[in-house]
Structure 1
């Protein structure tokens, strides 16, 4: 069955790179699940082996953060803060700074994908109401969300996997990763501010730009303070769990249970915004990569290749992260490296988190957050092409990675 495991692994990761299999409408989640099913049906992986491959702790914490983000969305917080940012009495540069700070901070404590999903529509409406081109601001949302999420181990899915794999300390992670995240946020601001997209901001004002936009002065629905307070307390509880508790998964699920006990929000409302597709993607990839890791011959060969490449050298790791994140995606890349790679020190796990996250800003396909931002923009009538994004994402990523590489070498 070794050959079948290898074939399924290759085909699944080709699907991760292409986003689908040719001539089929199946997406990355479907490909990962299908690959896992084939391995189970064929007997290449038994049920016990499949269950052992699935990282329950990562899925539990990710579910907790999604439910927590859902609580903030239900309170109207994302609408409220998005409106407050777009209503700032400042020019395009000040607005850009507000967007970047908002998304960077929120993504450090909530999953970056949810922040992008919730903020982008509100931002587009407010920006268009000011007669501004929303394209650079949408790209700023994606890039800032990715950069900000690098600061903590609960900022994005790959950080969660890395943290659980290495049993990393919350405070230690912040001390190692917050500086590169802040530097990257600064890079996002400077690169976008100086881009041709921003220099042409004053030229798009007019009735056409505002025809379908809500006035900036029009009030949004009021905050539900009761739900918001519950969300804030739950956030504090999650952070406390990661700082003080060893069994993070079970205690995180207790937070989910507490949020489900509500007289204001139904269970459907609380769980309705959970990205079940992402959780299914994780399960499928865990099984496929787990099968490869359990195959001594293939796993040993893969480790030898990584050792030959000197994967533990920060420069090599940054290059692999950039290439892998923008082909198969940063989540599948991290899962593959952790499952099949050599031993990882705490310092190199921190570096992997930084490099894999910041590499996601390179192209639209580099991060799920980028795809969400572009899709949300398209629904609102703003089309951001592959080239539009790359013109900003490429320099943002290359400069951010260079600064981060210097930081990693400095603290090593």
Structure 2
């Protein structure tokens, strides 16, 4: 009985195996040779920029071809599709292609009129090649108006200080993506920014660079070196308040070029206030010149001011590019700054009660001395190596953030500073999150076409003239940066300047980037909300009991801001000529 069952099972398995082989053979025979068409191309927008994630469909004699995988464009706007057709279909069949993406006009069916026969392989398959590129035109959809409204709302909340700027940007980014995945799910005209593209929009080079530099400065702060520098400034001035003001401004400007202006002001303000109170003068007479010098000095380098970090990362400009193109004009601006503020505050400086200079120097020497020489040597060496890497990062094809990260990591290891304490107390997380969310809000405006509309308007207003383009970007950037924080404005201008750099004759050398940097950084001096360093300075002055109103700040800073911008205008036009 068992033997019989075994035989039955064996015959059944053989029958099934034979049937499978027969089916495979029939399928293979039915498939036979095929016509294989490979279609490739690139999709750009009206400004010549690659269109990513555009969907393509293919039709043969009016019937859509079902492909194994969806065909979409890459980050570079390229696509490639392989279509398998019955033998003899080509070249006689009508092959059509269609491209589509939310916020763009559908191309409609486009006939591929150039299909080239390539070869016939050993299996009898005939290969054909075709190439077709598209220009997708923008379409004003509800997503466009929503993105514009959100961008304006975020700016208004920041400028009017109705909400913390980090919360305003966070709310704006959340609204854009929520609408994309609610209304956009049912109607593609409401698709603003998918999550994947939002993540790509965040420039992590900027985020990591800022974070790493905060860590380096946080460790150096523990040595007391910045307060010691203020003491040395007083010692060098020997009671001469005019000289003291110039030295403090110079130290602030140089420190801002290599540390960033916000950090420099946080370190220099407490010492400045104490020196001013000792001299019996209003600390604002020192603080206003310092913060102005901070923004001027920070303009000179890649890492000196957040707008420069954003510009350098977006445009792939090196540390040396900034130094070579901006340091001299910033030096001229600093010389003017020194002369102007010494003259402006001469009455306050004349009221200074210098008293016993030697006694004051002795007091400051005891109060502000180096507290950790070993850590200072370690930190100084690592900072020097980091700055050297900044200088050569272009030759190494290395992002600036990598130089800052290795410097911060090594310094953390050798200094044995508690990493948890560092992350909790020295990293300005609200600032970093603000940057990340702001990148998303601006990406939404760019993805829906708002940025391109503004860029085309600027181009039309300039009439294609490089001189007009330079002056427009410089002065519009300056005025806008004085009204709102220069960081969100710079984020908005990046894609606009990138487009104008390629579309205005003569701008290929990158001069428009320097116009944006000078306009955003120097224009930020105009009001107390124009730059982050200004906000920090006014806030710390108020905590010390010295209130500076919005109009008082404008009255002090408006004229020197205008003069530095005139200097920048002349400089840029001389470079262009």
- If the length of structure 1 is used for normalisation, what is the TM-score? 0.91
Q: How far is 1:264 from its partner?
A: 4.2
SS at 2:367 equivalent: coil
> Is the CA contact (8 Å cut-off) linking 2:242 and 2:349 kept in structure 1?
no
- Structure 2 counterpart of 1:8: 150
Contact 1:69 1:111 (C-alpha < 8 Å) held by counterparts? no
The reply to whether residue 338 of structure 1 matches residue 497 of structure 2 is: no
> Which moved further from structure 2: 343-352 or 363-372?
343-352
Superposed displacement of residue 237, structure 1: 2.5
- Alignment of 1:56 with 2:207, yes or no, is no
Residue 177 in structure 1 maps to residue 326 in structure 2: yes
2:330 and 2:299 mapped to 1: Cα distance?
6
For 2:270, the equivalent position in structure 1 comes to 121
Q: Which has the higher contact order (CA 8 A, sep 6+)?
A: 1
Query: 1:352 offset after TM fit, Å?
Result: 1.4
Larger Rg belongs to? 2
What secondary structure does 1:363 align onto?
coil
Name the structure 1 match of 2:194.
Answer: 46
Asked if 1:254 corresponds to 2:367, the answer is no
State whether structure 2 residue 384 is matched by structure 1 residue 239.
Answer: no
Show the counterpart of 1:211. none
User: Do structure 1's residue 326 and structure 2's residue 482 form an aligned pair?
Assistant: yes
Give the superposition deviation at 1:269: 4.1
**Structure-2 separation of matches of 1:234 and 1:62:** 16
Aligned match for 1:33, one of 170, 181, 204: 170
Paired with 1:234 and 1:206, the residues of 2 have a C-alpha distance of 38
- Quote the residue 1:277 is aligned against: 430
Contact 2:225 2:369 in 1 (8 A): no
In structure 1, C-alpha distance between the alignment counterparts of 2:227 and 2:366, rounded to whole Å:
12
Q: CA deviation at 1:336?
A: 0.3
Alignment pair present for 1:290 and 2:443: yes
Partner of 1:376: 540
Instruction: Tell me the matched-pair count.
Output: 399
Please tell me whether the aligned partners of residues 191 and 395 of structure 1 are also in contact (alpha carbons under 8 angstroms). Answer: no
Residue 367 of structure 2: aligned partner: 219
| 1:302 corresponds to which of 454, 479, 488 | 454
Over the aligned positions, Cα root-mean-square deviation in angstroms equals 2.1
8 A Cα contact 1:135 1:382, kept in partner: yes
**Take 2:234 and 2:310, find their aligned partners in 1: how far apart are those partners?**
34
Provide, for residues 315-350 of structure 1, a one-character-per-residue CA deviation record: whole Å limited to 9, x for no partner.
212210221101222111111011344233422112
Asked if 1:141 is matched to 2:290, the reply is yes
The structure that is helix-richer by fraction is 1
Q: Equivalents in 2 of 1:405, 1:279: separation in Å?
A: 32
Q: Report the TM-score when normalising by structure 2.
A: 0.66
Moved more, 156-165 or 76-85: 76-85
Distance 2:452 2:365 in 1: 62
Checking the alignment, whether the CA contact within 8 Å between 1:260 and 1:270 is kept in structure 2 is no
- Rounded Cα–Cα distance in structure 1 between residues aligned with 2:289 and 2:371: 25
